[in-house]
Amino acid sequence: MSNVITICGSLRKGSFNRMLANALPALAPAGMTITPSPSIEMPLYNADLQAEGWPAPVIALGDAIRAADGVILVTPEYNYSMPGVLKNAIDWVSRLKDQPFANKPVCLQSATMGPLGGARVQYHARTTMVFLDAFVFNKPEIFVGMAQNKFDEKTGELKDEATRSIIKQQLEGFEKFIARHKAHND
């Protein structure tokens, strides 16, 4: 049994990554619930602003991450790295006392219209997750390349069978990863 949240790195309505996040519950093993995180839209990070108090969306995202058994980042790649909007949200919550990513099982997924499917964003995100001391899942990795051919653009449904199958494997592996982590930390 695990309760997992997805953090989507794109804000646009027709985002392939949002479609991907939405496809996960149907591909998850029994006992794993997957729900979207609260909004990642928060003011641009500024330590002077932080000194005046935490913005409400920062608290909300921090609480949601802490309350989850695991987190799946589902994000596009912008300019060969993480979207600024997503990184800004991470920069904020990283400053919270009881830092929410510390020791948290985290799994990565990305979708892009190019052939690499967001590999570069994932390896940069892994670097950041080392600093945050998250517990990052390894393999299988999910890189959904040529996303425009793999989703139904109207319904948002993930149609590609090979992708659905590897996601199923990842989520099963992530469920075990979370369970092992829980057993070790109990």
Partner 1 sequence: MLDIVTICGSLRKGSYNAALIRALPALAPAGMSFRPSASIADIPHYDFDVQAGGFPTSVTAFADSIRSADGVIIVSPEYNWTIPGTLKNAIDWVSRMKDQPFRNKPVALQSASIALLGGSRMQYHMRQCLVSVDAHCFGRPEVIVTHANQKFDEKTLEFTDQQGRDIVKQQLEAFAAYIKQFNR
Question: Which residue ranges make up the site for partner 1 (CB under 8 A)?
Answer: 10-15, 41, 44-49, 78-91, 94, 120, 124, 127-128, 130-132
Angle at 11 between CA 38 and CA 57, to 5 degrees: 30
Q: How far is the CB of 127 from partner 1 (least distance, A)?
A: 5
What distance in Å separates the CA atoms of residue 119 and residue 125, rounded to the nearest whole number?
A: 10
Q: How far is the CB of 23 from partner 1 (least distance, A)?
A: 20
For partner 1, which is the closer residue by CB, 33 or 131? 131
Q: Alpha helix (H) ranges present in 51-160?
A: 56-67, 84-93, 119-131
For partner 1, which is the closer residue by CB, 60 or 85? 85
In this structure, are residues 77 and 15 in contact, taking their beta carbons and an 8 Å threshold? no
Q: Which amino acid belongs to residue 102?
A: A
For partner 1, which is the closer residue by CB, 13 or 139? 13
In this structure, are residues 104 and 67 in contact, taking their beta carbons and an 8 Å threshold? no
Helix/strand/coil percentages in the chain, nearest 5:
40, 20, 40
Q: How far is the CB of 162 from partner 1 (least distance, A)?
A: 27
For partner 1, which is the closer residue by CB, 33 or 127? 127
For partner 1, which is the closer residue by CB, 13 or 184? 13
Q: How far is the CB of 45 from partner 1 (least distance, A)?
A: 6
Q: Taking the chain, what is the end-to-end CA distance rounded to the nearest angstrom?
A: 15
Q: How far is the CB of 30 from partner 1 (least distance, A)?
A: 35
